[in-house]
Amino acid sequence: MLDRKMIAALGDVPPVRGKPYGLYAWQKRPPSQRSKDDAGLLERICRAHAQSRQTDGSPPVHAALK
């Protein structure tokens, strides 16, 4: 049976199906367009939250992103 520490250690590992070299190919791939878009959105969210002196919740931050 897996304990919490083992599950936490496995949290960042993608499931491996097939040959182990597929995992290494996955690690070497350039970032996808989706992950680039997500990083840009995260930057905009952090900027909007910081401009509100970190007091606004999700509705005002969401409105600022529109």
Q: Which domain holds residue 44?
A: 4-65
The number of domains in the chain is 1
CA dihedral 61, 11, 34, 42 (to 10 degrees): 20
pTM to 2 decimals? 0.56
Is residue 17 a contact partner of residue 26, using CB atoms and an 8 Å limit?
no
Query: Which H helix or E strand runs over 38?
Result: helix 33-51
Q: Rounded to 5 degrees, what are φ and ψ at 23? A: -65, -45
pLDDT tens string for the chain (66 positions)?
Answer: 455 555 555 555 555 566 666 667 777 889 899 999 999 999 999 998 888 888 878 888 888 888
Dihedral angle sign, alpha carbons of residues 15, 23, 13, 41 = negative
